[in-house]
Structure 1
Amino acid sequence: MTVNTSVTADHNAPAITRQLAEFVANHPSKGWSDAVEHEAHRTFLNWLGCAIGAARHEAVDAALAATQMLQPAPQATLAGRSERVDMASAALINGISSHTFDFDDTHLKTIIHPAGPVASAIMALAEHQGSSGRQVIDALVLGIDVACRMGNLVYPEHYDRGWHITGSTGTLGAAAACSRLLGLNAEQTTMALGIAASQPIGLREQFGTMTKPFHPGGAARAGLMAALLAQKGFTSSARALEAPRGWAQVLSTKYDWREAQDELGQRFEISFNAYKPFACGIVIHPSIDACAQLRAQGVKAEEVEKIELRVHPLVLELTGKKEPQDGLQGKFSVYHGCAAGLIFGRAGEEEFADHIVTREDVVALRRKVQAVVDTSVREESVYVTATLKDGRSVQVHVEHAIGSLQRPMTDADLEAKFHNLADPILGESKVESVLDACWGLGQASNLQVLLKQLAP
């Protein structure tokens, strides 16, 4: 097998497109362990809570207003809203909503947020064609597997080139999931993956703007359309993922074909999904966790002379904004994240509101945070030293932040997070019904019980 790190094309790549298509089309329903099945329900629940929570955000308002100019047919539900739009627009808007707070799931090996593109696409399609909950869960597991395996195949070089890997792989995952939901055969699914391969979405330049959450939404819409086109006989290259001028070799200087093939149908990437306790980029989480621990140890913001961080290089590359001007920028500021962790002991969406990011005491504390890169520090770790005005020094080392695979959020944690996001939109009693429907999705004959609860 080739593990390529140069620009030399591999003309002998294995038939990845076809192999993944056969896997998606032919893998048995619920053909995985109970642990994978449970993780699929956790992933869906977390995705839906994030989508509902951001339903009234100005980015969602703008996206909905734009799609309504096309006079969409009322085919599908928008999470947390009363309006209905066509399938493609619902995939777009629910995908945008689910990522707006940067609070969604994370495949830690690649930092892909896989549910945004995949779940947004299949929920719109499933509602329109009356799919069962079992079919939705099957499509979710298989679509996420395709997205994350393709991410494994090209990460980190693909990401380092500037691609937002959630969008670029999400189109493939959404296409795979929708192909499964439509019941496409292996040949049709190969075409769907090929069509999707020509639609990579997402540049890291957009981080901190509304266009970042557009990436999973755009990927969901593109993947759905790819599957619909393939269903109607639209064709593509059968080697669109692996060919010298195909997806992997064009978008990355590294492509490890084994990542797509090894243990296919035995190891499922959804098993490695993690869920965020903090509403911001995953690389800030260890620092927030550490500063919340400082607070728990009795350190007060007004006592702090300075806070020193030793972090992995990616932390400052992605989240080095020293003076964020609004909430979206605050999500890409490790300095604000540390201030929120120490002042509030948490960093949910409310701690990234515009008025909090610009609040005088928050600004004053974040300006006392100093971050230095240490290549010996892993992405999931941080070393924090707080020097107090009385001369004392307090140190915290976080090896794995809360929410990681080593310190995962429990089902109860996910339910509490869901309530915090969705209660202001739907009301507590309706949210309880939604939670019950999410946990029982794999046994549901259709999505109607769930969908009826999603309007405010």
Structure 2
Amino acid sequence: MSRTLADFVAATSWADVEAQSGEARRSILNFFATALGSARDPVVMAAMRTLSPFSGAATATVIGHSQPMDAMCASFLNAISANLLDFDDTHPETIIHPAAPVAAPVLALAEMHKLSGRELLTAFILGVDVECRIGAAVSPRHYARGWHITSTCGIFGAAAACAKLLGLPAEGIANAIGLAASQSAGNVENLPSAAKNVSVGNAARNGLFAALLAEQGYEAAPHAIEGPLGWARTMGDEPDIARLLDGLGKTWEIARNTYKPYPAGIVFHAVIDACLQLRERIGRRFDQIDTVTVQGSTLLLARGDRPVNNERDARVSIHHCVACGLLLGRAGVAEFARENGRPARYRAAAAEGEGGVG
């Protein structure tokens, strides 16, 4: 499986992906916007202070900052910035956020080596294809077991994309993918905390690291993903090889990518839309509402039935999303960020199990 993907990545040229370049540009533009929006967040600043003493040659831009850092540190910081607001692009089948773990190291490496836009876009499109195909091959059990799929699969996209930019042959790309399998991590329990963003940052940085190791001749097992004791079986179930390989080089996962209207988990967007519509239908007569019942998938309940103690909780809370859509009529960054000055009725509605939101 790794070798098949590696052969595909090695053989693919700009001519093969040019038709997808518009969507790739859109994804990268969205990546820059979400990263810039979080560039001065305390989480990003803390990570920057932590990494600065260990940064090597300052060759790569940290988005929103004047001081560059080495490519691995910049990859980590830009990936966590892009993912922090939960506003980044989403692959609906897998719920992977494709750009953050792949665009961050690709941009850093391309800047370091002064590579062309075509080379960058080719690698990015291929990286997105690899991460999303691997994610689809192990979904939905992989996520259901508690693995944060953007982090665990994003590293494969980062490794493949960076190996492509480095000009590695198929064998080297396969080794990079195998090396990524030894570093894949991130759990769903950490989603309402900034620890989630650490694993996304690690996917970007460690994917680059895997490619750089492979460039130096570092090897990995040939079946690191699909082997009897490989990544897929230890972190989910036997991979769906058909989903992984069908249409390889003919259909592209970047074409399936979507963009969020709200800075919240994508499973909550339908809830927000429904509440916005209900708000207008009832003429904003909130005093006539006794209860609000939300029906949805098991995943919606599992991820969103939680108290709201901070803005990260709010981004993955059914109750908060209902309150934003129904009572405020807005669900932007400010509505998920502010914790003070809310009307008492709104605070009650956003609390778990209170205010009639169930």
TM-score category, normalised to shorter length = over 0.9
Identity score, percent: 41
TM-score, normalised to structure 2, is 0.95
Shift of the alpha carbon at 1:360? 2.9
Alignment equivalent of 1:368, drawn from 323, 334, 355: 355
Closer, same or farther in 2 for the Cα pair 1:80/1:30, shift >3 Å? farther
Closer, same or farther in 2 for the Cα pair 1:231/1:354, shift >3 Å? same
Alignment equivalent of 1:270, drawn from 254, 257, 277: 254
Give me the whole-angstrom Cα distance separating, in 1, the residues matched to 2:152 and 2:216.
24
> Does the aligned pair in 1 maintain the 2:101–2:158 contact within 8 Å?
yes
Alignment equivalent of 2:208, drawn from 216, 224, 238: 224
More strand, by proportion? 1
**One-letter amino acid of the structure 2 residue matched with residue 152 of structure 1:** A
More helix, by proportion? 2
> Does the aligned pair in 2 maintain the 1:351–1:357 contact within 8 Å?
no
Give me the whole-angstrom Cα distance separating, in 1, the residues matched to 2:96 and 2:43.
21
Closer, same or farther in 2 for the Cα pair 1:357/1:231, shift >3 Å? farther
Give me the whole-angstrom Cα distance separating, in 1, the residues matched to 2:67 and 2:344.
39
Provide the residue aligned with 1:315 in structure 2. 300
RMSD: 1.5
Shift of the alpha carbon at 1:97? 0.3
Give me the whole-angstrom Cα distance separating, in 2, the residues matched to 1:339 and 1:184.
51
> Does the aligned pair in 1 maintain the 2:176–2:213 contact within 8 Å?
yes
The reply on whether 1:107 has 2:88 as its aligned counterpart is: no
Alignment equivalent of 2:198, drawn from 214, 219, 243: 214
* Aligned pairs (5 A) from 1:23-422: 23-32=8-17, 34=19, 36-297=20-281, 298-321=283-306, 323-355=307-339, 360-366=344-350, 367-371=354-358
- Structure 2: gaps spanning 5 or more residues: none
> Does the aligned pair in 2 maintain the 1:76–1:84 contact within 8 Å?
yes
Give me the whole-angstrom Cα distance separating, in 1, the residues matched to 2:166 and 2:278.
51
Provide the residue aligned with 1:404 in structure 2. none
Shift of the alpha carbon at 1:71? 4.3
- Structure 1: gaps spanning 5 or more residues: 1-15, 372-456
Provide the residue aligned with 1:388 in structure 2. none
How many residues are treated as equivalent by the alignment? 354
Give me the whole-angstrom Cα distance separating, in 1, the residues matched to 2:228 and 2:38.
40
Give me the whole-angstrom Cα distance separating, in 1, the residues matched to 2:24 and 2:356.
38
Give me the whole-angstrom Cα distance separating, in 1, the residues matched to 2:58 and 2:287.
54
Give me the whole-angstrom Cα distance separating, in 1, the residues matched to 2:167 and 2:127.
13
**One-letter amino acid of the structure 1 residue matched with residue 299 of structure 2:** L
TM-score, normalised to structure 1, is 0.75
Closer, same or farther in 2 for the Cα pair 1:357/1:81, shift >3 Å? farther
